[in-house]
Amino acid sequence: MKTKQFVEDLKKKSDADLAQELVNAKKELFNLRFQNATNQLDNTARIKEVRKNIARIQTLITEKAKAAQ
């Protein structure tokens, strides 16, 4: 259920907002990887979740670009 809501919210955003969301997700992933390397990360499943969210965002950006053509 949480994933569906996340995707629906992303579909409503503009291209610029999606690009910013992608940048934020990539920064979060970097920070999570750094925390994992230094044994400070408690929830390692969050890395997988953020990676999937990045893929979802990139997919929506690609779909919007194809629809615009």
Q: Could you list the residue range(s) of the whole structural domain that residue 52 is in? A: 15-68
CATH number at residue 58: 1.10.287.310
Whether the model clears a pTM of 0.85, i.e. scores above it, the answer is yes
Distance CA 17, CA 10 (A): 9
* pLDDT at residue 40, as a whole number: 96
* 9 within some domain: no
Q: How many domains does the chain have?
A: 1
Q: Helix (H, G, I), strand (E, B), or coil: what is residue 21?
A: helix
Name the band, by pLDDT with cuts 50, 70 and 90, for residue 3.
confident
Distance CA 39, CA 17 (A): 33
* 58 within some domain: yes
Mean pLDDT of the 9-23 span: 95
Is residue 22 predicted with pLDDT exceeding 90?
yes
Answer yes or no: are the C-beta atoms of 53 and 6 closer than 8 Å.
yes
* 23 within some domain: yes
* 24 within some domain: yes
* pLDDT at residue 48, as a whole number: 97
Mean pLDDT of the 15-34 span: 97
Name the band, by pLDDT with cuts 50, 70 and 90, for residue 63.
very high
